[in-house]
């Protein structure tokens, strides 16, 4: 099973590798996205921590979860976690909404 890929690895436009969905690993490479993401992993997955992103990526996640109601998490223990399927649904919803309201 692939557990780490480098930036030069071949993946398609949806960030899918033969073993699943990939995300930035925080060290300049890529890794397989886990089935359930922590807030920090979700921030990396959405690339909110990259240059040009929001000043407070955690606040952005909480905004989409709590105020905009576009992102759903689930509480497991004392943490709110995000199923990968929910992160992908959120992205698809944002793409559709943004495409309807803007001309990128």
pLDDT one-digit tens code per residue, 74-97 = 999 999 999 999 999 999 999 998
**Please, what is the average pLDDT of the chain?**
85
Residues 14 and 48 in one domain: no
Structure tokens belonging to residue 103: 């001309």
Predicted TM-score (pTM) of the model is 0.79
Number of domains the chain is built from: 2
Write out the chain's pLDDT in tens, 104 residues.
344 444 444 333 445 556 689 999 999 999 999 999 999 999 999 999 999 999 999 999 999 999 999 999 999 999 999 999 999 999 999 999 888 887 65
Residues 10 and 26 in one domain: yes
Alpha helices in 1-104 (DSSP H): 39-45, 57-62, 84-101
Residues 38 and 89 in one domain: yes
Residues 72 and 46 in one domain: yes
Residues 58 and 90 in one domain: yes
Q: Which domain holds residue 5?
A: 1-33
Residues 26 and 57 in one domain: no
Is residue 70 within 8 Å of 62, Cβ to Cβ?
A: no
Cα four-point dihedral sign 90, 71, 77, 57: positive
Residue 59's contacts (CB-CB under 8 Å, 6 or more residues apart) are none
Residue identified by tokens 């690895």 is 9
Looking at the chain, which runs of residues are DSSP E strands?
Answer: 16-17, 20-24, 30-32, 36-37, 74-76, 79-83
Residues 59 and 92 in one domain: yes
């Amino acid at each position: 099973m692939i557990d780490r890929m480098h930036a030069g690895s071949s993946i398609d436009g949806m960030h899918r590798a033969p073993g699943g969905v990939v995300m930035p690993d925080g060290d300049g490479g890529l890794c397989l996205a886990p089935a359930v993401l922590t807030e920090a992993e979700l921030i990396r997955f959405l690339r909110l921590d990259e240059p040009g992103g929001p000043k407070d990526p955690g606040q952005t996640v909480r905004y989409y979860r709590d105020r905009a109601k576009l992102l759903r998490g689930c509480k497991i223990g004392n943490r709110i976690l995000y199923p990968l399927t929910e992160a992908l649904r959120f992205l698809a919803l944002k793409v559709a909404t943004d495409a309807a309201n803007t001309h990128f």
